[in-house]
């Protein structure tokens, strides 16, 4: 554990921000402190595992959690004061939401903070391999100046981009892709009929159809039991040999071994990846492939998006502690134990 900010006398509530000691995100807790200063003491902890949170189990009224630390069912029953866990981000696969719900703890996420950034990044990872940017840059770095390195590059207008999962980010990606001239399809069984008309795209009746017909497949689904290894050997085999796979969602949605084999054997044309199944493991071998572009789980980031995410997380905590209002809830918390107020929540949420 790296540090905890000095606790201050005054507010009765305690809020802990849990970040990774190995892959830290927030530099400090100034944004959260400003929003919560009159209702809670805020402490930033940088930990290696959830076990290191043990000294604070019985003190936390709310937790703001970054991505790399897991909160499993092992500790949920020990969080006797905790009303709310806010995942700083869209995905919440590092929280056992069922165990939290059984313990009466609401779990929330921030589904809309980085919509623009991730959609922009998805298009960047689409255009980079399509325009052969990586081999062109490598050739220039070797001292050459030869445009023919781009031989085989195809015109983007008229290619088909297939979006898997058309929530907020998937929709934003569809709209951006249309501006570049792609013919855009999406597959999402959770959206109502007619959504394709609202955004001016086509809708695939199955994932298999989308994979077979797309020149680029862009993944925009949450990680859960339904989507883990959604893209494996069989799915990759359905794609065109000339097609590209883009993933800015969650690494385990795509089987690493299956993708590496498909790329190495030229079964698909290439990939643009911001996430890996066991990141950062595997990045080095993928980066050596000329048909693969890898970025370090950075699609979410801009200066503005980070401030927005942290502000919204702290505001969710404040609303819960001060007013008993719980927003963006992704689980179904049972009746809370003594000392907690039962959340008044809207349990509907969008798959994105």
Q: What is the pLDDT of residues 134-148, one digit of tens each?
A: 999 999 999 999 999
Question: Which stretches within the chain are classed as H helix?
Answer: 30-36, 73-76, 97-102, 115-130, 133-141, 168-179, 195-199, 207-213, 233-238, 256-264, 283-287, 303-318
Residues of the chain with CATH 3.40.50.720: 13-113+301-345, 115-294
- pLDDT of 43 > 70? The answer is yes
Looking at the annotation, which residues are catalytic?
Answer: 250, 279, 297
- Is the domain covering 13-113+301-345 a CATH 3.20.20.140 domain? no
pLDDT in tens, 299-331: 999 999 999 999 999 999 999 999 999 999 999
- What element of type H or E holds 344? strand 344-345
In terms of Cα–Cα distance, which of 125, 126, 127, 149 is closest to 137?
149
Give yes or no for a contact between 291 and 129, defined as CB atoms under 8 angstroms apart.
Answer: yes
Query: Is the per-residue pLDDT at 200 higher than 50?
Result: yes
CA distances, 64 to each of 19, 105, 304 (Å): 9, 13, 19
* 3-state secondary structure (DSSP) of residue 245: strand
Token pair 């959206």 in the structure block, residue: 191
Rounded distance between C-alpha atoms, residue 111 and residue 242, angstroms: 33
Burial of 158 (0-12, 13-18, 19+ CB in 10 A): exposed
CA gap 281, 258 in Å, rounded: 15
115-294 has CATH 2.40.50.140 classification = no
* Buried b / exposed e along 35-67 (16+ C-beta atoms within 10 A): bbeebbbbbbbbbeebebbeebeebbbbbbbbb
Q: Kindly report the pTM of this predicted structure.
A: 0.86
E strand or H helix that includes residue 11: none
The model's pLDDT over 256-268, given as tens digits with 9 standing for 90+, comes to 999 999 999 999 9
């Amino acid at each position: 554990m790296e540090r905890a900010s000095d606790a201050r006398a005054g507010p009765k509530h305690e809020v802990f921000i849990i970040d990774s000691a190995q892959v830290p995100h927030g530099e400090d807790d100034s944004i959260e402190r400003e929003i919560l200063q009159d209702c809670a003491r805020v402490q930033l902890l940088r930990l290696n595992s959830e076990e290191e949170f043990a000294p604070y189990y019985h003190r936390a009224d709310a937790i703001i959690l970054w991505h790399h630390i897991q909160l499993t069912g092992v500790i949920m029953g020990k969080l006797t004061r905790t009303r709310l866990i806010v995942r700083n981000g869209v995905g919440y696969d590092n929280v056992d939401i069922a165990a939290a719900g059984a313990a009466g703890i609401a779990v929330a996420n921030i589904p809309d903070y980085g919509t623009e950034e991730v959609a922009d990044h998805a298009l960047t990872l689409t255009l980079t391999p399509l325009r052969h940017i990586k081999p062109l840059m490598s050739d220039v770095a070797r001292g050459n100046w030869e445009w023919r390195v781009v031989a085989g590059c195809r015109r983007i207008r008229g290619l088909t981009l297939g979006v898997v999962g058309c929530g907020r980010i998937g929709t934003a990606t569809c709209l951006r892709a249309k501006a570049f001239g792609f013919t855009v399809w999406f597959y999402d069984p959770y959206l109502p009929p007619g959504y394709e008309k609202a955004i001016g795209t086509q809708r695939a009746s199955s994932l298999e159809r989308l994979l077979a017909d797309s020149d680029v497949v862009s993944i925009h689904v949450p990680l859960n039991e339904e989507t883990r290894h959604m893209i494996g050997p069989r799915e990759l085999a359905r794609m065109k040999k000339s097609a590209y796979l883009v993933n800015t969602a969650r690494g385990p949605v795509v089987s690493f071994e299956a993708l590496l084999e498909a790329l190495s054997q030229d079964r698909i044309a290439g990939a643009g990846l911001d996430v890996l199944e066991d990141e950062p493991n595997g990045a080095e071998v993928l980066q050596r492939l000329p048909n693969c572009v890898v970025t370090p789980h950075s699609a979410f980031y801009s200066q503005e998006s980070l401030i927005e995410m942290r502000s919204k997380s702290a505001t969710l905590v404040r609303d819960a502690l001060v007013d008993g209002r719980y927003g963006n809830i992704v689980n179904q918390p049972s009746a809370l134990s003594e000392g907690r107020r039962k959340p008044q929540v809207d349990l509907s949420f969008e798959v994105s």
